[in-house]
Structure formats: C-alpha cells, structure tokens
Amino acid sequence: MSEGSLSSKVLDYISRNPGATVKEICRELGLSPQLVSRVIQRLKAVGSVEKVGLGYRASGRGVELTDFSRSVEKASGGEGARSESIEVEGVKRRVEALESKVSELSRLVKSLHLEVESIKKYLAVCKQSSNSGERIRVMEYVEASALYGERLQSLIYSGKLIKVGNVVVDQEFYKQFTEKFPIKLREVSELSDEEKTLLEALIESGEIYLHAGKEYRLVGLKES
C-alpha cells in the first residue's frame, strides 16, 4: 500500500471516529503502532489531524480532504457512478442548449445593431436634407420603412413610390431617369449618386441590360 493511500485510510478512520487512539487505529486497520504513529505525525505536519485527549481527530482541512476522497470514490463505481454520469450528461446538454441560444441571440443582436446603425445614418441624412431643403428621392427599403412606417406599402401601391429591388424611388425621379435611356457606358460616371444607385438597382432587378458593351437599355427597348 502506498504512503498516500495509507494516509488517506488513516485520515478517513479518524474523521469517522473522532478521538481515536493509535491503539484503536492499529486494531481496526491491522497496522503496526510504529507505522500508524509515523502516518499520524505526517498528517499532523500538514494540518489534517490534531491531538484531542489521548487520541486524534480530523481538522477542518482533514474533513474536507476525506469528503472529497469519498465523493471521488463514489463517482468511480456502482450506482453512484451511473448517477453521476447521467447528471453530468444532463448538465452538458443544458450547457450546449444555452450556448446555442447565446449564439442565436448574438447573431440577432448583431443584425439589430446593423439595422439601428443604418437607420441612424438615414435619419442623419434626413435631418441634413431637411435643413438644406433637399428631397430624398432614392433610399434603401429599410430606410424607407423607418421613415414611412405602415404608410410605405400604400405609397408603393398608389405608385407614388416605386420599389426597385431593395431600393425605393420617388415616382417623378424614376420617370425622369428612365427617360434618359439608353445611357452610354461612358456617361455613367457623370450621373449623380442617386442616379447611380438607381442604375445599380435596375441592373440587379433585371430591368435594364448592357447592349453591345456600349450602352444601358431598358428591357423591351428595340435594338436599332
């Protein structure tokens, strides 16, 4: 028997039998008085046992050590081991479920953060445009939703606003821009930022196409 396991065995007996003498320990564990005395001295040196009357008792530290040792022993075999295993698996599943929810919430928070930032930028543009007296004629759909709320769909249905892909365009601006077609490829750089945004939306939605690599045409425009 190793010294470590022998010390654990003696400490466990003392913790179960406070005040046990060397003679009692020898009799119960089948050990020699010299060996038990040596083990007790070692346990006293590390603060695991203390003298009480003619015998010894486990100190607070000693009790903690024996409790830990018993829990390990219980978890290492029998019904206790299976019970511990089932409980650990249950905890693992709960942790995995919580991690999944945290990941999902993290994605949602990130998405909402991006949307909030987009709306903030749009509101800043609205404020600037309001101060300068300018009118916003082309905007992202999410920005239009923030601006018009429930009125947006009715404005689209009535034709006052036109939805092109993910962009919402003022009817008058849309009409004026489409009347410019065909637009030469070299003329694109001369377009305003709003016109370029609408041009990209029209390309993505398939409403215009590049003809012969030279000019943009509306779908349905007859080739000359």
**Which residue is associated with the tokens 């003809």?**
211
Residue 208 above 90 pLDDT?
yes
Distance CA(141)–CA(150), nearest Å, equals 13
Q: Cis peptide before 182, with omega less than 30 degrees from 0?
A: yes
pTM confidence score: 0.42
Residue 115: CA count within 13 A, CB half-sphere: 11
172: tokens are 């008058």
The predicted pLDDT at position 82 comes to 54
Q: What is the pLDDT of residues 42-71, one digit of tens each?
A: 888 888 888 888 889 888 777 777 766 666
Q: How many CA atoms lie within 13 A of 122 on its CB side?
A: 19
Average pLDDT, the chain: 81
pLDDT band at 15 (very low <50, low <70, confident <90, very high): confident
pLDDT at res. 224: 42
Residue-wise pLDDT tens digits, 114-171: 777 767 765 665 565 555 445 678 999 988 888 888 899 999 999 999 999 999 999 9
pLDDT digits over 64-114, tens only? 777 666 665 665 554 455 555 556 676 667 777 777 888 888 888 988 887
How confident is the model at residue 24, as a pLDDT? 92
Residue-level pLDDT at 63: 77
- What was the pLDDT predicted at 1? 55
The rounded distance, in Å, linking the Cα atoms of 8 and 90 is: 32
* pLDDT (0 to 100) of residue 132: 44
Residue 93: per-residue pLDDT: 75
What are 167-192's pLDDT values in tens digits?
999 999 999 999 999 999 999 999 99
CA dist., res. 59 & res. 47, Å (int):
7
Question: Which pair of tokens denotes residue 159?
Answer: 């034709």
- CATH placement of domain 3-75: 1.10.10.10
pLDDT band (50, 70, 90) for residue 222: very low
CB 146 within 8 A of CB 119: yes
Instruction: Identify the pLDDT of residue 48.
Output: 83
Query: Where do the structural domains in the chain lie, given as residue ranges?
Result: 3-75, 135-218
Work out the end-to-end distance of the chain between its first and last CA atoms, rounded to an integer number of angstroms.
102
